[in-house]
Amino acid sequence: MPSCLLPSGRDFPVVTVVKSSAIRRKEHSVNIPLAKPVFTKEMEKAAVNAFWNEHFVLGESVFKFEEEFARYCGVDYAVSMSSGTDALYIALVALGVSHQDQVVTTPASFVATSNVILHANAVPKFADIELTTYTIDPRKVLRVVNNKTRAIIPVHIYGYPADMDSINEISNKKGLYVVEDACQAHGALYKNRKVGSLGDVACFSFYPSKNMTVAGDGGMLVTNDERLATVAAKLRDCGRKSKYVHDMIGYTARLNTVNAAVGRVQLRYLDEWNEKRRRNAETYDRLLSDVPELILPPEGDEETRPVYHLYTVRTKKREELKTWLESNGIQCGVNYTLPIHLQPVYRELFGFKKGMLPRSEELCETCLSIPMYPELAGREIRQVSGKIHEFFKDR
């Protein structure tokens, strides 16, 4: 039996541990994964080329990727970052959000959306969502805005654009910044404009499961504000004015060159992949619309064109359905098991309790993401849908 040595000097039987943890977690073999990024020889070639021919840090590919991503979003500036979280955090810092400020966001998101507010020494204020779109409810935003509020972070959750006209109306009236969390919505359209171009600044994530990736962690901040872009670029690079002169307290939050090179190629395929995701969503919609126990994701219309980062259904029988699908080799996700305000650390810090943001709680209690990615075949969608029908047939 192979073994490796633990720092303590104890022998650690690798094979046994791997086996028993798999049994403990009741892992099933996966035939249809939840998500599947696309990697091609072209991407590998771009990465290898950058590896041999460019600086690893802030090489040419980084700046080209920024230019191309800004053009794609229809904005003037893009500043790449080491993650979506860093992009959000640096956006807040660059806007001057700090101690005693409040920032309004939705609890129905990945925890990073709110963590960055705390990292910036500000206080998160949660507004509940609309259950028809799963995005922040502007009427609820109005209820929590006060004279300490500095910014709103709407999240285009699952790839569905938030109600940006209403959010911008509130921000204009109250003098607030709008930071779009577009980490799940690369390429989504709102009234013919790309998300990322709808507020003061927007942030994207390139984590591998996203609609496009850089083959690792990565992020992008986009804006039309030259000052903001300049400050953000400085903050992500140690607050550098020049090589060893620093006029800001910055961070090391740069995107690596090899990752940027992959991102450039991925970006060229993004629209095609999003179209495939939309087609897959249409097929799911058609095949699942006759299951009364299931609520399907918002479809979008001529004004709102989602990109289905996730295809998330809702059902009161979420846990049983998940177990059933997984036992049939179909991987599922729960995005998210808890709304942010009910995460243990948020309960402890702020005293949040169940019942305070009921729609976000309902979403988290009932949501189930089923496989969605560009290369998902029609036959696989039929297989997933068939298994869902089978599940509800006898219940």
Ligand X SMILES: Cc1ncc(COP(=O)(O)O)c(C=O)c1O
Report the residue count for the chain.
395
257: number of Cβ within 10 Å: 23
Convert 305-339 into a string of H (helix), E (strand) and C (coil): ECCCCCEEEECCCHHHHHHHHHHCCECCECCCCCC
- Which structure tokens are listed for 230? 């300049």
Burial of 68 (0-12, 13-18, 19+ CB in 10 A): middle
Closer residue to ligand X (CB): 84 or 161: 84
Could you tell me the smallest distance in angstroms from the CB atom of residue 263 to ligand X?
Answer: 12
Distance CA 364, CA 354 (A): 12
Considering only 105-113, 133-141, 249-257, 325-333, which stretch makes contact with ligand X by CB under 6 A? 105-113
Closer residue to ligand X (CB): 72 or 204: 204
Distance CA 112, CA 180 (A): 13
Among positions 102, 171, 205, 274, the unique one binding ligand X when judged by CB under 6 A? 205
Note whether 255 binds ligand X by CB under 6 A: no
Closer residue to ligand X (CB): 127 or 183: 183
Closer residue to ligand X (CB): 150 or 186: 186
Among positions 50, 112, 178, 342, the unique one binding ligand X when judged by CB under 6 A? 112
Note whether 369 binds ligand X by CB under 6 A: no
Note whether 388 binds ligand X by CB under 6 A: no
Closer residue to ligand X (CB): 266 or 294: 266
Peptide linkage before 89 cis (omega within 30 of 0): no
Could you tell me the smallest distance in angstroms from the CB atom of residue 111 to ligand X?
Answer: 8
Question: Tell me, what amino acid is at 240?
Answer: R
Could you tell me the smallest distance in angstroms from the CB atom of residue 52 to ligand X?
Answer: 27
Site string for ligand X, 297-336 (x = CB under 6 A): ----------------------------------------
Could you tell me the smallest distance in angstroms from the CB atom of residue 348 to ligand X?
Answer: 22
Distance CA 306, CA 311 (A): 11
Could you tell me the smallest distance in angstroms from the CB atom of residue 35 to ligand X?
Answer: 12
CB 178 within 8 A of CB 152: yes
Distance CA 375, CA 56 (A): 31
Note whether 219 binds ligand X by CB under 6 A: yes
Among positions 105, 109, 197, 257, the unique one binding ligand X when judged by CB under 6 A? 109
> Which residue, among 223, 249, 250, 248, has the nearest Cα to 236 in the 3D structure?
250
End-to-end Cα spacing for the chain: 47
Site string for ligand X, 61-90 (x = CB under 6 A): ----------------------xxx-----
Q: Which residues contact 219 (CB under 8 A, 6 or more apart)?
A: 80, 81, 82, 83, 84, 85, 86, 87, 183, 203, 204, 205, 206, 255
Write out the E strands in 206-342. 219-223, 240-242, 245-246, 304-305, 311-314
Closer residue to ligand X (CB): 141 or 294: 141
Tell me which residues in 165-194 interact with ligand X (CB under 6 A). 181, 183-184
Could you tell me the smallest distance in angstroms from the CB atom of residue 321 to ligand X?
Answer: 23
Which residue has the CB atom at the shortest distance from ligand X?
84
Q: List interacting residues with ligand X (CB under 6 A).
A: 83-85, 109-110, 112-113, 155, 181, 183-184, 205, 207, 217, 219
